[in-house]
A and B are shown apart, each in its own frame.
Chain A
Amino acid sequence: MTQATLLALLSHWWRNPLQLFTLLAGLALATALWSGVQAVNAEARASYDAAAATLGEAQYERLVRPDGQPMAQATYVALRRAGWLVSPVVQGRLEGVRIVGIEPLTAPGGIGPVAPQEGADFGSFLTGEGQLFANAETAARLPDLDVIISPDIAPGTAVTDIGVAQRLLGKADLIDSLIVLPAQPRTRVPLAEIAADLTRQPAQGGSDIGRLTDSFHLNLTAFGLLSFAVGIFIVNGAIGLAFEQRRPVVRTMRALGLPLRRLILLMGAELMIFALIAGIIGVALGYVIAALLLPDVAATLRGLYGADVSGTLQLRPSWWLSGLAIALGGTALAASGALSQLARMPLLAAAQPRALAMAAGRRARLQGYAALVLLVLSAILMVTAEGLIGGFGLLAGLLIGAALALPLLLDACLNLMSKAAKSVTAQWFWADTRQQLPGLSLALMALLLAMAANVGVSTMVSSFRLTFTDFLDQRLASELYVRTDDAAQAAGLIGFAKDRVDAILPIQSTQTTVAGQPTEVFGARDHATYRDFWVFLQSTDDAWGTTFAGRTVLINEQLSRRAGLDVGDTMTLQDRDFQIAGVYGDYGNPIGQAVLGEAIFGMLYPDVAPRNYGLRMPPEDVPDFVAGLEAATGIPATQTINQAGIKSISLAIFERTFTVTTALNILTLAVAGFAILMSLLTLASMRVPQLAPAWAMGMTRRQIGWLELLRAVMLALLTALVALPLGLALAWALLAVVNVAAFGWQLPMYLFPADYARLGVFALLAAALAALWPALRLARTPPADLLKVFSNER
């Protein structure tokens, strides 16, 4: 009996291959977008984790010098001999590769090349013969060195023995930081007695890079989730239609004695098989999408945050399994309504070919209430939401509420239009559109979500770009930055630059703790550069004046939010109270920051000497200055950073970001377009009886075709009008609620009307393209078929 039932059920799909295709393609596309995005995220996160594990920043406290300069190797030995279980680390860059030197005998487990690789020789690792470990990509960038391929090493990083790293990086007898092992001996001399110049830097508890790049991944995840939602709408539509059409079959089979439970079980099993097939296709497609996107994403992250992400994708079981799981879960979600309806259906209920539409009509009121509740809830959350959960609740409420409200809105709109219509044709057009709306509403909801997501995410990314470039202007106000290695170089630089540049701005900083927050304190020299370029979120009238005079302090937004400090409040540095004169935006910085005047900074932190300098000069003089500096003082060009260079790199990075965003925009729109196409195609066959009277009364088939096309575009236009405010609300929620909760700073929101207009045109094009084939098919319906409507009894 089971086999016969299955055959009967499956026969529906053989007779309606298009429906089967819709179901499989919708699900596969949804899974593909979701799992593609997840693959990119997973790859990036694995790279961060590998990077963090290389140095153990996440798990272990460290000892560093507050000025960021390396310490003497003798300090390490002195600490060990005083009972401190610390392990030295040396790091630097060579050919763009991050070289990390570790001491394998004292390093805690889980750091460095822990698993011996093929060809590894620890004798030669330890005795300074120059063995390095890196992945294949990185190894290719270090052709002159003895690199052992080790896939687990973080991208862009080569791990080697500390002695080798010191030699390669020119840091003989120097150590950059000391990892503090978690278990320390019972008897230990206090740090201040051995190395008073070192400070303890707490474990970061999750990598810095991970936190910085979270906002980027959040964008991608939002995209993935919305695409999946769009796909599930398609699947839901296809399943609903198929179940409606199979009611006669179901009725017959049940009348023949098939138990309801077995029927439901079989239909569920049938869907799960489809979901599995579609899931496999989707995961494969997702892999292709991820592989295509990853190089751009990797380049973006590397440029934006200095995070090294592997450009090649690894197939992780957790990833493809979750892809399959979400395909199955999505199908279950989409089918649950249809299956429960089937379970409740009276045994002999008549087949209702248009039941889908009728049911939608009956459900309209309920749907309206649900939408209202969700939107009101979103409005409340907009004011009150705090934290990530609230932020995501707001996003979900907004999107689902708007999607549910869309058919009602469109219906009201069409009702108005039809009342305003004068001609018979126009009246018929509006009335016919209203009648078709229930069948199309799922596809239109998908389009709404896709467009809103595009508006929201592109507004967020573009706002981020604008803010960030402004921020770069503010922070990179000097035309040239020079790093000096010691006091002699610093003196040489000042001597050389004194008469050649407009201003020398020393950059000095130290690490401390303010109100329990790790904070970097800067000393700034009194110069117009700061007054001209820095933008405050909040400040007193003469914030820079009082700060340079040593009376006040300026803090970044992160410190302000986390420590609850505002303009006018007082904070303490080195037992001295300062009033806060201003709060500035500091994007992408994970820790707090405070700026003092140069004089007071020197008094409070007499041991910190500036090693980095910003130089103001006409931009065109920079190349000559750099060449002259090297000739006169021996400070190589590699120790200088040209501001124009940084800015062009930053802009190039944003171009990459946009490549990613645009690709995802196009993909989601394509999914929505596909939804429209499939809805129209399934409707088309049922529409012949409704179009036949119009044809019989004198409309040409060509006219009918055109009107079909026009209808799709008009509905897309109406949807786009709803999508725009929804997208902006989404962008606002992302920038003002989710971003603050996740990263501690708010991004200002900018509007980009030209982008929205272009997006609208794309959406209309997508709708027109989707409607083209169904319209053509209608226009080419043989007159005989139309005539049959009048002669045949349906």
Chain B
Amino acid sequence: MNVKALLLLCWMPCVATAQGFAGLGTEVDGFSVPQPNPTFHFPSDHGAHPEYRIEWWYLTANLTAADGTPYGLQWTLFRSALAPETGAGWSAPQLWMGHAAVTTPDNHYVSERLARGGIGQAGVTAEPFEAWIDDWVLQGDWQTMQMTASAPDFAYDMALTAKGPLVFHGEGGYSVKSAAGQASYYYSQPFFAITGTLQLPEGDIAVTGNAWLDREWSSQPLADNQTGWDWFSLSFDDGAKLMGFRLQQTDGENFTSATWIMPDGTTTAYADGALTATPLATNADDVPVRWRVELPARGLDVTVAAINDNAWMTTSVPYWEGPVTVTGSHAGIGYLEMTGYE
């Protein structure tokens, strides 16, 4: 194991909670903890919240080329704080990690960047909004945005336009993550239309599609008996969307949560147990890449299948992240993220 892996273990929420969890409503090593009934202020809440331990700007997109080939794209910036402080210089305790990926039916391209806060190499400003690490940038006013990333084997340059409002998960953006009450602040912009060019070893490919940008921050989002999660963001052909996750527990039980999003952006939150997600088949590495997802309250019973089974993120802390197709009671496309399968 090298320094980076060790550092990243400190970053990952499960470890962070194992080290620091001290119960609901208390402070964790001086970090702030999400409280129910939040009030968000924009654009400032699009920016960083250094008083919380972890935070991310997480964009996934389902893309289609002119010939109909489906592609997946990811652009993520993670912030992790060693202490709830900001500052200038190398000693500032804010660390940044960027992940970018492009998934084709046959290939999965991944790149990772790491940076220290405090020297200008990475960060997020709210006004004007810009999230960056090195030359990777996501910027704009949340109505129209630009996004770039570049790696030795791939690059992309995309333009985004919001076609709907922000969506708040859980109780108005307060998203509970366990029976014991761990929670995060969580909202999304799932209505981005996206267009741009993928530069791949296969050549440059013009693509269009829709993108989903998640914003989430917390200081202890998982309980110490939770080992990973399966997260779904599904867009159905009728314009409705579903965000759902299943947190795996060491006792074999799961904690689920879901948000049903109407085409106009109105939401219904579903508490633990309403959503069920059942693995149907695994890939060669024992990662489930076909799922049955059910939300009886909405008459939903679909099969979610990976477009490319091998969308494994070979980053410092590896996980699975890739585009999926949806068939069954509702047809559509979406993204699937799975952690805890190392």
Q: Is residue A104 within 8 Å, beta carbon to beta carbon, of the partner chain?
A: yes
Cβ of B120 under 8 Å from chain A: yes
Beyond the given pairs A116-B1, A126-B93, 13 more chain A to chain B contacts, judged by CB atoms under 8 angstroms and listed by A's residue number, are A81-B134, A106-B114, A122-B6, A127-B82, A127-B93, A128-B91, A161-B90, A162-B90, A163-B89, A185-B150, A186-B151, A186-B199, A187-B135
Does B121 belong to the interface (CB within 8 Å)?
yes
Nearest residue (CB) in A for B89 is A163
**Contact indicator B83/A122 (Cβ below 8 Å):** no
Q: Which of A104-128 contact B (CB under 8 A)?
A: 104-106, 109, 112-116, 122-123, 126-128
Q: Does B57 contact A (CB under 8 A)?
A: no
B132 touches A126 (CB 8 A): no
Flag whether B119 is at the interface (Cβ < 8 A).
Answer: yes
The interface residues of chain B lying within 8 Å CB-to-CB of A113 are 3
A103 to B91, CA, bound (A): 11
**Beta-carbon contacts under 8 Å, B126-151 to A:** 132, 134-135, 148, 150-151
Q: Provide the residues of chain B in CB contact with A781, threshold 8 Å.
A: none
Question: In the complex, which residues of chain A have a beta carbon less than 8 angstroms from the beta carbon of B223?
Answer: none
State how many angstroms separate the Cβ of B278 from the closest Cβ of chain A.
39
In the complex where A116-B1, A127-B83 touch, is A185 in contact with B135 (Cβ < 8 A)? Answer: yes
Number of A-B contacts (CB under 8 A): 95
0/1 string, A76-114, CB within 8 A of B gives 1: 110011110100000000000000000111100100111
* A166 proximal to B (CB < 8 A): yes
Measured between beta carbons, the chain A residues less than 8 angstroms from B2 are: 109, 114-115
Could you give 24 example pairs across A and B, Cβ below 8 Å? A73-B119, A77-B119, A80-B121, A80-B134, A81-B121, A81-B134, A81-B135, A85-B134, A105-B95, A105-B116, A109-B4, A113-B3, A114-B3, A116-B1, A116-B3, A123-B10, A126-B7, A127-B92, A161-B90, A163-B90, A185-B111, A186-B150, A186-B154, A187-B199
CA distance A116 to B1 in the complex (A): 8
Cβ-neighbour of A105 out of B4, B89, B93, B199 (below 8 A):
B4
Q: Is the CB of A104 within 8 A of B152?
A: no
B324 CB → nearest A CB, Å? 27
B95 touches A126 (CB 8 A): yes
Contacting pair A126 B115 (CB below 8 A) = no
Residues of B close to A161: CB separation below 8 A: 90
When the two chains form their complex, are residues B91 and A127 in contact, meaning their CB atoms are under 8 A apart?
Answer: yes
Residues facing A in B1-23 (CB within 8 A) are: 1-4, 6-7, 10
B155 on interface, CB distance cutoff 8 Å: yes
Q: How large is the interface on B (under 10, 10 to 19, 20 to 34, 35 or more residues)?
A: 20 to 34
Contact A123 B91 (CB under 8 A): no
CB contacts (< 8 Å) of A354 on chain B: these are: none
Docked pose: A186 CA to B102 CA in angstroms: 14
- B119 nearest CB neighbor, chain A only: A77
Chain B min CB distance to A77 (Å): 5
- How far does the alpha carbon of A443 sit from the alpha carbon of B168 in the complex, in Å? 94
A349 contacts chain B at the CB level, 8 A cutoff: no
Instruction: Point out the residues of chain A lying under 8 angstroms from B152, CB to CB.
Output: 183-186
Q: Any chain B CB within 8 A of the CB of A188? A: yes
In the assembly, what is the distance between CA of A114 and CA of B135, in Å? 26
B interface secondary structure, majority = loop
A contact residues around B111 at 8 Å (CB): 185
**B121: which of A77, A115, A123, A184 is its contact (CB, 8 Å)?**
A77
Q: Which residues of A contact B95 (CB under 8 A)?
A: 105, 126
Contacts of A77 in B (CB 8 A): 119-121
| Given A123-B82, A127-B82, A162-B90, A105 contacting B154 (CB threshold 8 A) | no
> Contact: B93 with A187, CB < 8 Å?
no
Q: Which residues of A contact B114 (CB under 8 A)?
A: 105-106
Q: Select one of A74, A83, A163 contacting B134, CB under 8 A.
A: A83
Chain A interface mostly: loop
A104 vs B162: C-alpha distance when bound (angstroms): 38
Interface centre among B7, B115, B119, B132, by most chain A C-beta atoms within 10 angstroms, is: B119
Interface residues of A (CB under 8 A from B): 73-74, 76-77, 80-83, 85, 103-106, 109, 112-116, 122-123, 126-128, 161-163, 166, 183-188
**Contact call A128/B89, Cβ cutoff below 8 A:** yes
Chain B residues with CB under 8 A of A105: 4, 7, 95, 114-116
What 0/1 readout, one digit per residue, does chain B (100-116) give for beta carbons within 8 Å of chain A?
00000000000100111
- Return the chain B residue nearest A123 by Cβ: B82
Measured between beta carbons, the chain A residues less than 8 angstroms from B4 are: 104-105, 109
State how many angstroms separate the Cβ of B3 from the closest Cβ of chain A.
5
**Chain A residues within an 8 Å CB radius of B119:** 73, 76-77
B135 to chain A: which residues have CB within 8 Å?
80-83, 185, 187-188
Q: Are B3 and A122 in touch, CB under 8 angstroms?
A: yes
With a cutoff of 8 Å between Cβ atoms, the chain B residues found around residue A112 in the complex are: 3
- Whether the Cβ atoms of B3 and A106 lie closer than 8 Å is no
> Which A residues are CB-close (under 8 A) to B92?
127
How many angstroms from the CA of A188 to the CA of B10 in the assembled complex?
A: 31
Q: A104 and B150: CB pair below 8 A?
A: no
B82 to A116, Cβ gap below 8 A?
no
Contacts of A83 in B (CB 8 A): 134-135, 150
Take A114-B3, A186-B199 as given contacts and tell me if A81 and B150 are in contact as well, using a CB distance cutoff of 8 Å.
no
A186 to B150: give the CA distance in the assembly, Å. 6
Bound CA span A188–B136, Å: 11
A455–B83 alpha-carbon span in the complex (Å): 67
| A162: chain B residues within 8 A (beta carbon) | 90
| Distance in angstroms between the alpha carbons of A115 and B90 in the assembled complex | 22
Q: Are B3 and A104 in contact (CB under 8 A)?
A: yes
CB pair A166–B120 under 8 Å, yes or no, is no
Q: Bound state CA distance, A165 and B1, in angstroms?
A: 25
Give the distance in Å from the alpha carbon of A122 to the alpha carbon of B89 in the complex.
Answer: 17
Residues of chain B contacted by A114 (CB below 8 angstroms) = 2-3
- Given A185-B151, A187-B135, A122–B7 Cβ distance below 8 Å? yes
5 closest cross-chain pairs (CB), A and B? A163-B90, A128-B91, A185-B150, A105-B114, A83-B135
